[in-house]
Amino acid sequence: MSDDGDDLDLNELEDDELVKQMQDDLYDGLKDEVAEGTQILIDRGWEPYRVLTEALVEGMRVVGIDFRDGILFVPEVLMSANAMKAGMQILRPLLAESDAPKQGKMVIGTVKGDIHDIGKNLVSMMMEGAGFEVIDIGINNAVENYLEALEEHQPDILGMSALLTTTMPYMKVVIDTLEEKGLRDKYIVMVGGAPLNEEFGRHIGADAYCRDAAVAVDTAKELMTRRDNQLAAAQG
C-alpha cells in the first residue's frame, strides 16, 4: 500500500503524515517501523491512548476492510497483527502505569474456537491502567478453562472476547454453565468483540456489552460500584 523507500526517515514526518505512514506500515506488516513510529509519537508527547486509537486501531480497521473484501489474506493479516502488537508492546507499560486505587480483579479470555487476541489484550492493558488486576487466560478457551480460572483467582469480573459470528454464541454456553452451577451471581460478566452488540449481550445474559476498551473500563467501574452499593444495602 505504501510507496515509501527504505530510506524514509519517520522522524522527519509531521505528526499527521507520520500517523498515515504508520497506518500504511501496519497494513504492510512492517513491525519495526510501526514500533518506531509509536515511540516517536510518544516522544513527541502524544497520550498513549491517542497513539493507540488514531494510529494502530485505525490502521487495523483498514486491514479488516481489505481482509473482508479478499484483498488481503491470512498471512498478510497475521503480519499486520504482529506489527500492531509491536506498537502495543511499547504502549503497554504506559497504559498499565497507574496510580489509581485498587479497583478489583478480572479474568478475561477469548472464547473457544477463536484465536483473535488483539482486542482482548487492549482491554487488559486499559483495565490494568485503571487499577484492575487482570488475569488473562489467552485464546480458544473452553468453558472448563473459565471455570478453573474463576475458581483459582476468585475475580470480581469475568470478561469474554469473541471476534467471529461463529464463536460469539459460545459466550452463552459459559454463562449458562455458570447459571447451572449456581455461580452466575458471584461475578460481573462483561463481553466484547467486533460482531457483538448490546442486544446480543442482553440475550446471552451478560451484565454488559462493551464496545471498546475505554467503555470496558468505565463499565467495570460502574458495575463494581453498583455491586458494592447493593451489598452494603443488603447488609443494612
Contacts with ligand B1M by CB under 6 A lie at 57, 60-61, 63-64, 67-68, 74, 77-78, 81, 108, 113-120, 122-123, 159, 161, 163-165, 190-195, 210, 212-213, 216
Distance from C-alpha of 111 to C-alpha of 119, rounded to nearest angstrom:
13
Residue 180 Cβ, how far from ligand B1M at the closest point, in Å? 22
Give the residue with the Cβ less far from ligand B1M, 176 or 212: 212
Residue 101 Cβ, how far from ligand B1M at the closest point, in Å? 21
Give the residue with the Cβ less far from ligand B1M, 33 or 112: 112
Residue 167 Cβ, how far from ligand B1M at the closest point, in Å? 7
Give the residue with the Cβ less far from ligand B1M, 11 or 226: 226
Beta bridge partners of 135: 107
Distance from C-alpha of 39 to C-alpha of 213, rounded to nearest angstrom:
21
Helix (H, G, I), strand (E, B) or coil at 69: coil
Give the residue with the Cβ less far from ligand B1M, 54 or 114: 114
Distance from C-alpha of 51 to C-alpha of 23, rounded to nearest angstrom:
11
CA atoms within 13 A on the CB side of 38: 26
Classify residue 18 as exposed, middle or buried by CB count within 10 Å of its CB (0-12, 13-18, 19+): buried
Give the residue with the Cβ less far from ligand B1M, 1 or 11: 1
Helices (H), the chain: 15-27, 31-43, 48-50, 58-68, 74-96, 118-129, 143-153, 170-180, 198-204, 213-234
Residue 96 Cβ, how far from ligand B1M at the closest point, in Å? 15
Residue 210 Cβ, how far from ligand B1M at the closest point, in Å? 4
